[in-house]
Amino acid sequence: MLHADDIIFAPATGNGGAISIVRISGAGCLELLDGVVELRRGIVSEAPGFSLRYGSVPGLDEVLVSIFRAPHSYTGEDMAEISCHASQYIVTELMGKLSAAGARLAEPGEFTQRAFLKGKMDLAQAEAVADLISSTSSAQHRVALNQLKGGYSAELQQIRAELLELTALMELELDFSEEDVEFADRGRLSALLNSAIARCTALSDSFRVGNAIRNGVPVAIIGAPNSGKSTLLNALLNDDRAIVSDIPGTTRDTVEETCVIDGILFRFIDTAGIRNATDEIERLGIERTHRKAAEAEVVLGLIDLSAAGSEEQFQEAAGNIAEMVDLERQKLLILANKADLGPCNKNVIDSNIFVSRADNKHNTIEILHISAKTGLGLEELRSHLVSASGIASANGTLVTNARHAEALRATASALAAVRSGLASGTPTDLLAEDLRSALGHLGTITGQITTNEVLGEIFSTFCIGK
C-alpha cells in the first residue's frame, strides 16, 4: 500500500515542446517548495489557490508555479505545478532538488489514485482518465470523456440507490420477523428488479461495441492466395505494410495494423491465403487464418474476379468463405477484387446473384466490387466498415472495461436470483442476502467496495505523473 501521507512529485509532460511541467502533491508540499523555489514576490506557502507565481529555482531556471489548495485540486490535496524550460537536464535537476527536500517520486497513477481516495472521482471515472490519455480516435475520446464526466457512474448510482432502498426495507422486515410483517412492496420490488436486470444486461451487452471502440474493431482479411489481401491492407493503410508478390503463399503469418476511419479505430488482420498447404509452415499460417477469422467482428472475404472464370466458381468461392464465418455474430463483406479488369465485367455483374441464390443464413452478406490496386470502390468499402462496426449508430452509455462488464453480469445474475426467490416465496433474509451481493458487485465498479490489490492493479497501468 502506498503511503498516502507522503509528498509526491512527477513530470507531467513528455519529451519535446517548449516547456516541461513537474507536479507535486501532498500535505506540506507548498511549504516544501519554499525551500526549492524563490518567488519574485512572497513565498509559495502563502500564495492563494488558483494563482500563478513567477520565480526561479536558484542556479537552474526561471519557473512559473501554479498553486492549488485542498480540496480544490486534482488530487484533493495541496498541490502545485512547476513550469520550466523543456530541458531534460533541468527537469532531472529540479526533481533531484524536490527529492532532497523530502518529497518522493510518485508511482504510476498515484495522483489519480489520491483523487479517488479523496472522493474527487469514483473508480470508473479514475479508469476513464487512463482511457482518455490513451485515446487515439474520436470514438475512444468521446466514450472516455463521457465516463470521466460521470455519465456512466450516474447510471450505476441510480440502480444502486434503488437497490439500497429496497435492501433497507427488506432488512427492516428481518428486524420484525417474529411479527410476520412485510414492509417491502412486492409489486414494486418485482418491477424494480425487472428494470435493474434489464439495465445491467444492456450495459454488459454494450461491452461488445465498447471493447471495439477501446481496442479497435478487429477486421480479418481472408481469401485464396493472390486474391489481393496484402494489396488491400496496404491500400487501406496508405502504406506498404504487407509484402505483395505474385508468388502464392507469400503471407505465411498474420499481419496486424490499425488505422482510423471516420473517427473509429480499426484493427486490420491480413491472413495467409486459404488453400491446400504445401508445407508445414504454410499449414500453420492457414490454421491461424481460421482462428483470426473466428475472432473478428468483421470479415472481408476477397475473391479474385480474374481467377473466378464463371458464376459458379465465384459462388463456390463465396460459399467457402461464408462457411468460415458465424453470420449470427459477425459481419461478412464479400469483396469482388480486380473489378477494374475489362474481361471480368460479366463476373462483376453476375456476382450479385450470389446473394439471391444463397440460403437464408447468407442473406445478410453484401458484395462490393473493388480494385485494391487502383482504389476502385475503397471509399464505399470504408463506409461499409464504419456501418458494420455498429459504433457510429451506438447511443447511450457504453461499457469499455472487461472488469466492469463481468461485474454487471454478476449483478444481473444476483438480481435474477432475487426475482426467482420472490416468485417462489424464498424467505426475506435470503432475498436480502442476494440483494447485498448485487450491491457488492456494482460497488466494485465505482469503488464503493474494493481492495488494495484491485486498486494496485488498476493504477499500475497509468503513466507516472497521472
Q: How far, in Å, CA of 461 to CA of 446, rounded? A: 18
Query: pLDDT tens for residues 387-401?
Result: 888 887 777 788 999
Q: Which three cell numbers stand for residue 305?
A: 474476379
Single out the residue of 219, 280, 271 nearest to residue 250, CA to CA: 271
Average pLDDT score, the chain: 83
Query: pLDDT tens for residues 206-242?
Result: 998 898 888 899 998 988 887 888 889 989 988 665 4
What DSSP state is assigned to residue 73? Answer: S
Contact, 303 vs 335, CB < 8 A? yes
Q: Looking at 178-192, 309-323, 366-380, 450-464, which range is the least confident one?
A: 178-192
Single out the residue of 197, 255, 248 nearest to residue 227, CA to CA: 248
Cis status, amide bond into 343, omega within 30 of 0: no
Amino acid, res. 253: D
Q: How far, in Å, CA of 65 to CA of 293, rounded? A: 54
Q: How far, in Å, CA of 11 to CA of 241, rounded? A: 35
What DSSP state is assigned to residue 361? Answer: G
345 pLDDT tier (thresholds 50, 70, 90): very low
- DSSP per position, 311-329: HHHHHHHHHHHHTTS-TTT
- With 0-12 / 13-18 / 19 or more C-beta atoms within 10 angstroms meaning exposed / middle / buried, residue 65 is buried
Is the predicted pLDDT of residue 253 greater than 60, yes or no?
no
Structural domains of the chain sorted by starting position, each given as residue range(s) with its CATH number in brackets: 8-120 (3.30.1360.120), 126-206+399-447 (1.20.120.430), 211-389 (3.40.50.300)
Amino acid, res. 392: A
350 pLDDT tier (thresholds 50, 70, 90): very low
pLDDT of 125:
92
Is the predicted pLDDT of residue 355 greater than 50, yes or no?
no
Contact, 82 vs 91, CB < 8 A? no
Q: Looking at 19-28, 305-314, 432-441, which range is the least confident one?
A: 305-314
Any idea which residue has 417491502 for its cell?
Answer: 184
Of residues 87 and 357, which shows the higher confidence score? 87
Is the predicted pLDDT of residue 351 greater than 50, yes or no?
no
Q: How far, in Å, CA of 63 to CA of 42, rounded? A: 15
Query: pLDDT tens for residues 57-78?
Result: 999 999 999 999 999 999 999 9
Is the predicted pLDDT of residue 272 greater than 70, yes or no?
no
Which of 95-104, 300-309, 317-326 has the largest mean confidence? 95-104
Q: How far, in Å, CA of 464 to CA of 376, rounded? A: 46
Q: Looking at 11-15, 90-94, 350-354, 437-441, which range is the least confident one?
A: 350-354
Helix axis angle, 123-134 to 138-148, nearest 10°? 160
Q: Which three cell numbers stand for residue 246?
A: 505474385
- DSSP per position, 289-357: HHHHHHH-SEEEEEEETTT--SHHHHHHHHHHHHTTS-TTT-EEEEEEE-TTSGGGHHHHHHTTHHHHH
Q: How far, in Å, CA of 368 to CA of 348, rounded? A: 9
pLDDT of 178:
55
Q: Which three cell numbers stand for residue 433?
A: 442476502
Q: Coil, helix or strand for 439?
A: helix
Q: How far, in Å, CA of 44 to CA of 219, rounded? A: 54
CA distances from 344 to 16, 92, 339, 369, 374 (A): 53, 65, 7, 11, 15
323 pLDDT tier (thresholds 50, 70, 90): confident
**Which residues are 337's β-sheet partners?**
304
Terminal C-alpha separation, the chain: 18
349 pLDDT tier (thresholds 50, 70, 90): very low
Contacts of 134 (CB under 8 A, 6+ apart): 140
Instruction: Tally Cβ neighbours within 10 Å of residue 379.
Output: 10
Does pTM surpass 0.85? Answer: no
Any idea which residue has 482510423 for its cell?
Answer: 260
Single out the residue of 74, 70, 72 nearest to residue 21, CA to CA: 74
Helix axis angle, 151-175 to 428-446, nearest 10°? 160
Single out the residue of 321, 336, 319 nearest to residue 372, CA to CA: 336
Query: pLDDT tens for residues 92-107?
Result: 999 999 999 999 999 9
Q: Residue 341: phi, psi to the nearest 5?
A: -80, 125
Helix axis angle, 151-175 to 123-134, nearest 10°? 160
Of residues 155 and 190, which shows the higher confidence score? 155
